[in-house]
A and B are shown apart, each in its own frame.
Chain A
């Protein structure tokens, strides 16, 4: 079989094809049911032959009240992955609900249409399908996460994506957090994914189950979405009071160090540096995101650098010690 695109190469080289378990999809999706009524859902980085996303949405089509389900099926690769379904041709699937009354999606009810290209989400064919869609739900290749999010924002689509928490520190992704155009969903942390058979074993976070299926896991997986949830309007309960001894001011930033999200003092009006895991509990009604250490480094927040400071600003420093990545926040409604 011919090698067909740079994406194939990228996918093989990066080993970022991770298949999400049905139960992980269920645990997250149960919180968004009300968003799907009458909507067209598009799975644009999918392989419906193995994807649990396709399973979830096709089997729940009536329950969610979907209008249409579309999934592009990326052109099969030259490697022996799920070989019985191997095909030279990339296709896309359309499903519009149960027609024969057996209450489950059947082969005759799923329309399979050929694609000219390879089904890459960036191809013009895929973009035409994206335009029809209301909500995109998928687990994009991690190496293309940034690009994938950018596309969805450009096309003004709703989405629900699995990524790594590291993506928060990407400049473009962080800006979306700050502008309230994207936030974290419900579940984060450990997540196990099925991986293609040809992926080599690894020392850690890798195992083969009794049926010979290979698995990998991420310790910092999380969902990213722009669908509103009650969770992001829950106030974090604050119980600490500010004291200069407990919350020292950084050497270089005009902000205090708060090492743990739950220790945010209830009564501090200025800027506070918090770990990036803060975002899993971020409520925009309670706090405002001022920026990040990245942005200070890039000169976007000159007013946050302490007067007279001439040293490094790439990260926050405390008594000469370089801190972990910090997000800079302020209590909403605090006097400026």
Chain B
């Protein structure tokens, strides 16, 4: 199946017919055929001024920017919603609410307008691009148009393209203000649930960074229990492995660590003692990395402070330019600084613990 993009004109009369706002359960219009806001989607975010600007545009008969609707490729039986608003949700809701007399513009509600005025509003034509095709192609297209349009996050686009019961259920858990995932994990997570950052992060953890194929595979699942159980397991593991909470723990890749290290039995008291030590160590310039380091043993996470030029020069002079491993003489710029007692064995980044090795011997030492 090839993707097609078809421009069309929709009048305000058509757009607002059958408009219904079911709050959390979603918003529909266009004779019930248009899913304006799927359940648990981002709430209406226009403020009164932006909303009024849209209505002002209609009154003045100025053109509004193009809107984009997706043609749903798999509409369940009994579901009339064959289109979904991809770009233009806020403008569409503003127009529908105004025509439904939810708010007044310049003191008057829609039903207070003179017949010629209301007819002019209802006859106003919007330009809509209808986009149909397989989800992956739609997604590529949305990513492109999104550059120009209202800013959607990648996850918001994925949610639209893979709309269905799985997405609705996942949003209920991961994407509302005060949602269960936020309640459970906000101490450990960065980002905003409502901008879909929680959902995106957790899918990435679960599926090794590949969000799209996970969503494609679960498009038709009746619920998102798998992901929710996984997230609960991650948080429970973090709680039991690192019972003492520090602000440093917010935003670490906990799911990735859980995936890799959940099988090992850790002594949380020992881990805590090492972390307490690391966060006080001046050589550690990336304190957050302490958590990754105690699990992986990789010093790169700590961003250990390098020897200063003065420390290097002092060691070079002390050695009279001779590499202690091979006994040859080198220029300063042909040598590299090395911890005499390795850092992991307690050696510090200090003048006394600095020696200069020739490049070759230093590489060889590092590789041991």
Q: Using a CB–CB distance below 8 Å, which chain A residues touch chain B?
A: 22-23, 26, 30, 55, 59-60, 62-63, 102-104, 230-231, 234, 237, 239-240, 260, 262-263
Contact = CB atoms under 8 A, between A and B. Distances in A.
A22 B101 contact: no
B101 A60 contact: yes
B108 A104 contact: yes
A239 B112 contact: no
B184 to A, nearest CB: 6
Contacts of A263: 183
A106 B1 CA distance: 60
18 contacts: A22-B104, A23-B48, A30-B21, A60-B109, A60-B111, A63-B109, A63-B111, A104-B108, A231-B23, A234-B24, A237-B173, A239-B180, A239-B184, A239-B232, A240-B183, A240-B184, A262-B183, A263-B183
B103 interface: yes
B114 interface: yes
Contacts of A262: 178, 180, 183
B183 A23 contact: no
B102 A30 contact: yes
Interface in B34-76: 48
A299 to B, nearest CB: 35
B183 A59 contact: no
B202 to A, nearest CB: 14
A26 B102 contact: yes
A103 B111 contact: yes
B250 interface: no
Contact of B103 (A23, A104, A239): A23
B143 interface: no
B111 to A, nearest CB: 5
Contact of A59 (B109, B114, B172, B178): B109
Nearest to B228: A239
A260 B186 CA distance: 13
A59 B24 contact: no
B104 A237 contact: no
Nearest to A230: B23
Nearest to A30: B102
A55 B179 CA distance: 37
Contacts of A237: 172-173, 179-180
Contacts of A102: 114
Contacts of A62: 111
Interface in B135-172: 172
Interface of B: 21, 23-24, 48, 101-104, 107-109, 111-114, 172-173, 178-180, 183-184, 232
A262 B107 CA distance: 39
- Closest 6 pairs (CB-CB, A-B): A239-B180, A262-B183, A26-B103, A104-B112, A30-B102, A103-B112
A63 B184 contact: no
Given A239-B180, A262-B178, A55 B107 contact: yes
Contacts of A230: 23
Given A55-B107, A60-B109, A62-B111, A260 B102 contact: no
Contacts of B184: 239-240
A59 B112 contact: yes
Given A26-B104, A63-B109, A237-B179, 11 more contacts: A22-B104, A26-B103, A55-B104, A59-B104, A59-B107, A59-B108, A103-B112, A103-B113, A104-B108, A239-B184, A239-B232
A271 to B, nearest CB: 21
Given A260-B183, A262-B183, A63 B172 contact: no
Contacts of A231: 23
A231 B184 CA distance: 24
Contact of A239 (B108, B113, B114, B183): B183
A230 B48 CA distance: 25
A26 B102 CA distance: 6
Contacts of B178: 262
Instruction: Give the one of A22, A237, A260, A263 with max B CB within 10 A.
Output: A237
Given A59-B104, A60-B101, A234-B24, A103 B114 contact: yes
Nearest to A62: B111
Contacts of B101: 60, 63
Instruction: Give the one of B21, B48, B108, B183 with max A CB within 10 A.
Output: B183
Nearest to B114: A103
Instruction: Give the one of B108, B114, B180 with max A CB within 10 A.
Output: B180
Contacts of A22: 104
Nearest to A263: B183
Contacts of A23: 48, 103
Contacts of A30: 21, 102
A26 B51 CA distance: 14
Contacts of B183: 239-240, 260, 262-263
Contacts of B48: 23
Contacts of A239: 180, 183-184, 232
A262 B176 CA distance: 12
A221 B90 CA distance: 26
A26 B113 CA distance: 18
Nearest to B181: A239
A62 B101 CA distance: 11
A262 B179 CA distance: 8
Contacts of B21: 30
Nearest to B184: A239
Contacts of A26: 102-104
Instruction: Give the one of A22, A26, A240 with max B CB within 10 A.
Output: A26
A42 B166 CA distance: 46
Contacts of B114: 102-103
A263 B107 CA distance: 43
Contacts of A240: 183-184
A310 to B, nearest CB: 36
A23 B94 CA distance: 13
A237 B170 CA distance: 13
A97 B48 CA distance: 28
A249 B107 CA distance: 54
Contacts of B112: 59, 103-104
Contacts of B104: 22, 26, 55, 59
A240 B182 CA distance: 12
Contacts of B102: 26, 30
Contacts of B232: 239
